[in-house]
């Protein structure tokens, strides 16, 4: 069901639904956000939304919420949970709807108009949020309810919401004096604009580089499918008789893995690692330096020693010391493994008479040689079994076996991009559960990486069930004229990973719109799904040869299992280096003249990062830390402890044990964001998390 509310705005009545309002004007003449969507499942009407609709919709959304906040503040009745806390939670419905659609498109299908709107609207949204968080009359009402919380008879979800809204207001400056609040507003607006600028620069740098190969000899070593894909890229770029490789990973990594031309490998990886660091109009050094310094100032303004202390306070980790303890433990275990891997690959180079030392652009090439020599496993032997729709069906199979979900593709649906697939999701009893969009492949209008968001989140804030609409976005290997999209094993894992986030949204069962998200717990639902991606009995179901339909042979499954520890030194060190760098930036206690290249090099030298490995992210393209993963990139590792320990619960029973799956669903997925993280974990596992399963599964014990 979709809840609708009546507002009187600008002299006429608007019937506000999930993303729309009812009027008598022709649809063609009305902003799509101002009318009832009239779409299946009330999904956004992407086919009717134009760039010019967004700013008016944002402005109307902010006006709506301002009116709602005024109604709360001016209520003559004494503050109660319902008239203050629940009312605050319900506010901003239209603004939230517009924001979710806009920022989804800005990430996956942007253009110059959307980028310009984002640059304009982001600081305005930051200012709008500050007006609410720093409203003294609103905070006084929230505090009044908070102070009486023990006597109100609230249920656990209500109490959690109340405590969150109160502490959020305090953490956002509600207790600061007027002068400090003014400075905080300035900082927040500037940070919002800088984040947009960083992302725009990075997208331009990523799209701006092309490795154009015109001599067929330079393709030596590359598999036929990789060559065919590069030829297709060249054709789309309008380049005749050539092959084009880019710094998008589905294009770059196969080249680094198989291309025998070492100079070209160096050229391509260097282009990737200098993005945002070329002293041109898209340079990000000054941008990220200002972001870091503004965060230092913000943390001090709010009474915290560092931005890391500020960020981690409400998260599962709690303190920077706990984060560093985990990262240091894994760093000390992983670095010697990476050094052994260097020695093994250098031996191959020397045996071939290479006459050079292993460099970062050599790692993938010689790691693949080492994998073949040690495990007789070639990524090209695996790809035919990972056709993208088969992998998708494997994800659906696991969701069905665990939770009883089924999926039906929807035709003739409005889509955020023509490439997207859309599915209705059903519960085991056949009832509607959700809608999910899945968008798989790279394009110039899409930022890199993979992520999962929500066009609409589940809630019962107004007493009616609002069902979720999920948006899953990736950048996977594309199809060619002769073959469908054949994924690497890592890409298959990524699809399972992102679908774990989707399950977190689809199976949500909370009352209120306001939920609390943290990277160190939020990656648990996604990372645990990767465990099923390579489980032998699951591989037998979905990993089928795209031409013959034959399941993956036992021989290849055995090789996958035997090679599970392969390259783990590299895999852990590159991620941990980025996590540690993130924490080091956010451990600064005072603004400083920050040369990010010097800072980065000095720190990596200090912790002993070996020269053969480049950090997963260098500063000028570390987009995670411009937003919600600032002082939070460690979350992937922290959640790694949780996901391996959680999967061990299934290993102790069976892969699809229904009691364990139901407990994971009810204690983790359904209540995510509405309870304390440790309480959720203990309710599922019966004890606090243990690191042993992670170390064992990574071969680091």
Which residues have a catalytic role annotated?
Answer: 498
**What distance in Å separates the CA atoms of residue 513 and residue 515, rounded to the nearest whole number?**
6
> In this structure, are residues 123 and 193 in contact, taking their beta carbons and an 8 Å threshold?
yes
The token pair that represents 590 in the structure block: 């005072």
Reduce the DSSP state of residue 634 to 3 states and report it. Answer: coil
> In this structure, are residues 488 and 476 in contact, taking their beta carbons and an 8 Å threshold?
no
**What distance in Å separates the CA atoms of residue 499 and residue 506, rounded to the nearest whole number?**
10
**What distance in Å separates the CA atoms of residue 398 and residue 533, rounded to the nearest whole number?**
9
> In this structure, are residues 4 and 13 in contact, taking their beta carbons and an 8 Å threshold?
no
Alpha carbon separation from 440 to 166, 205, 437, 474 (Å, rounded) = 40, 21, 10, 5
Alpha carbon separation from 91 to 72, 83, 136, 164, 512 (Å, rounded) = 10, 12, 17, 16, 11
Strands 421-426 and 451-456: unpaired
H or E element in which residue 432 lies:
strand 432-439
Cβ neighbours of residue 588 closer than 8 Å, sequence gap 6 or more: 292, 293, 296, 306, 307
The token pair that represents 611 in the structure block: 């020269």
DSSP 98: H
Question: What is 118-180 written as a DSSP string?
Answer: HHHHHHHHHHHHHHHHT-HHHHHHHHHHHHTGGGTT--HHHHHHHHHHHHHHHHTTTTS-HHH
Distance of CA 191 to the CA centre of its chain: 20
The token pair that represents 43 in the structure block: 């999904």
Reduce the DSSP state of residue 515 to 3 states and report it. Answer: coil
Number of neighbouring beta carbons within 10 Å of residue 143: 17
DSSP 5: E
Reduce the DSSP state of residue 617 to 3 states and report it. Answer: coil
Candidates 542, 540, 519; CA nearest to 634 is 519
**What distance in Å separates the CA atoms of residue 11 and residue 25, rounded to the nearest whole number?**
15
Alpha carbon separation from 139 to 85, 132, 167 (Å, rounded) = 10, 9, 11
Question: What is 645-699 written as a DSSP string?
Answer: HHHHHHHTS-TT-HHHHHHHIIIIITTTTSS-HHHHHHHHHSS---SHHHHHHTT
Q: In three state form, how does the secondary structure of 539-603 look?
A: HHHHCECCCCCCECCHHHHHHHHHCCCCCHHHHHHHHHHHHHHHHHHCCCCCCCCCCHHHHHHHH
H or E element in which residue 482 lies:
none
Terminal-residue alpha carbon distance, the chain: 51
Question: What is 378-397 written as a DSSP string?
Answer: -HHHHGGGBBHHHHHHHHHH
The token pair that represents 601 in the structure block: 């090099």
> In this structure, are residues 455 and 104 in contact, taking their beta carbons and an 8 Å threshold?
yes
Long-range contacts, 655-662 (Cβ 8 Å, 24+): 655/532, 655/535, 655/537, 655/538, 656/401, 656/402, 661/402, 661/403
Candidates 486, 490, 636; CA nearest to 564 is 490
């Amino acid at each position: 069901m979709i809840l609708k509310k009546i507002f009187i705005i600008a002299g006429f009545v608007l019937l506000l639904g999930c993303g729309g309002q009812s009027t008598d004007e022709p649809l063609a003449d009305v902003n799509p956000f101002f009318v009832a969507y009239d779409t299946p499942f009330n999904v956004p009407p992407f086919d009717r939304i134009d760039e010019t609709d967004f700013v008016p919709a944002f402005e109307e959304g902010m006006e709506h919420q301002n009116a709602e906040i005024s109604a709360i503040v001016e209520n003559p009745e004494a503050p109660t949970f319902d008239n203050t806390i629940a009312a605050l939670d319900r506010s901003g419905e239209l603004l939230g709807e517009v924001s979710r659609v806009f920022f989804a498109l800005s990430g996956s299908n942007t253009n110059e108009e959307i980028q310009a709107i984002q640059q304009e609207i982001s600081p305005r949204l930051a200012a709008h949020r500050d007006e609410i968080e720093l409203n003294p009359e609103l905070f006084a009402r929230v505090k009044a309810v908070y102070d009486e919380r023990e006597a109100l008879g609230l249920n656990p979800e209500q109490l959690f919401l109340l405590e969150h809204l109160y502490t959020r207001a305090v953490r956002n400056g509600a207790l600061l004096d007027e002068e400090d609040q003014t400075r905080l507003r300035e900082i927040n607006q500037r940070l919002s604009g800088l984040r947009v600028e960083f992302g725009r620069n990075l997208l331009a740098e990523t799209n701006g580089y092309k490795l154009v190969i015109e001599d067929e000899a330079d393709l030596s070593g590359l598999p036929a499918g990789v060559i065919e894909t590069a030829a297709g890229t060249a054709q789309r770029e309008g380049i005749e008789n050539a092959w084009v490789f880019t710094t998008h990973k589905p294009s770059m990594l196969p080249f680094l893995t198989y291309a025998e031309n070492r100079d070209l490998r160096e050229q391509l990886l260097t282009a990737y690692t200098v993005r945002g660091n070329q002293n041109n109009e898209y340079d990000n050094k000054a941008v990220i330096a200002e972001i870091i310094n503004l965060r230092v100032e913000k943390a001090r303004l709010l009474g915290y020693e560092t931005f890391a202390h500020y960020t981690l306070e409400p998260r599962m980790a709690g303190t920077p010391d706990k984060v560093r303890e985990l990262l240091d433990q894994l760093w000390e275990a992983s670095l010697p493994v990476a050094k052994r891997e260097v020695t093994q690959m250098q031996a191959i180079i020397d045996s071939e008479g290479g006459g050079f030392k292993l460099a970062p652009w050599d790692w993938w090439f010689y790691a693949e040689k080492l994998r073949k020599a040690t495990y007789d496993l070639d990524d090209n032997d695996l790809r035919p079994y990972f056709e993208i729709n088969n992998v998708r069906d494997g994800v659906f199979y696991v969701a069905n076996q665990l939770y009883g979900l089924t999926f039906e593709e929807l035709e003739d649906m409005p889509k955020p991009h023509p490439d997207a697939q859309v599915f209705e999701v059903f519960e085991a009893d056949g009832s509607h559960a959700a809608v999910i969009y899945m968008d798989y492949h790279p394009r110039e209008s899409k930022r890199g990486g993979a992520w999962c968001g929500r066009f609409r989140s589940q809630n019962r804030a107004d007493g009616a069930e609002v069902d979720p609409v999920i948006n899953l976005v990736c950048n996977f290997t594309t199809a060619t004229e002769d073959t469908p999209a054949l994924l690497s094993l890592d890409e298959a894992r990524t699809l399972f990973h992102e679908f774990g986030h989707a399950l977190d949204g689809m199976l949500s069962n909370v009352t209120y719109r306001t939920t609390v998200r943290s990277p160190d717990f939020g990656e648990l639902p996604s990372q645990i799904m990767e465990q099923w991606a390579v489980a032998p009995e699951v591989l037998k179901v979905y990993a089928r040869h795209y031409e013959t339909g034959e399941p993956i042979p036992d021989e290849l499954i055995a090789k996958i299992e035997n090679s599970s520890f392969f390259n783990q030194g590299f895999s852990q060190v590159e991620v941990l280096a980025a996590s540690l760098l993130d924490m080091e930036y956010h451990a600064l206690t005072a603004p400083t003249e920050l040369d990010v290249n010097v800072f980065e090099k000095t720190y990596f030298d200090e912790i002993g990062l070996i020269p053969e490995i480049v950090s997963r992210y260098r500063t000028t393209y570390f987009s995670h830390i411009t937003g919600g993963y600032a002082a939070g990139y460690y979350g992937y590792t922290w959640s790694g402890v949780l996901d391996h320990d959680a999967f061990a619960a299934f290993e102790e029973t069976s892969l699809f044990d229904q009691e364990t799956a139901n407990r994971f669903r009810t204690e983790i997925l359904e209540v995510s964001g509405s309870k304390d993280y440790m309480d959720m974990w203990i309710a599922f596992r019966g004890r606090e998390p243990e690191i042993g399963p992670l170390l064992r599964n990574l071969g680091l014990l």
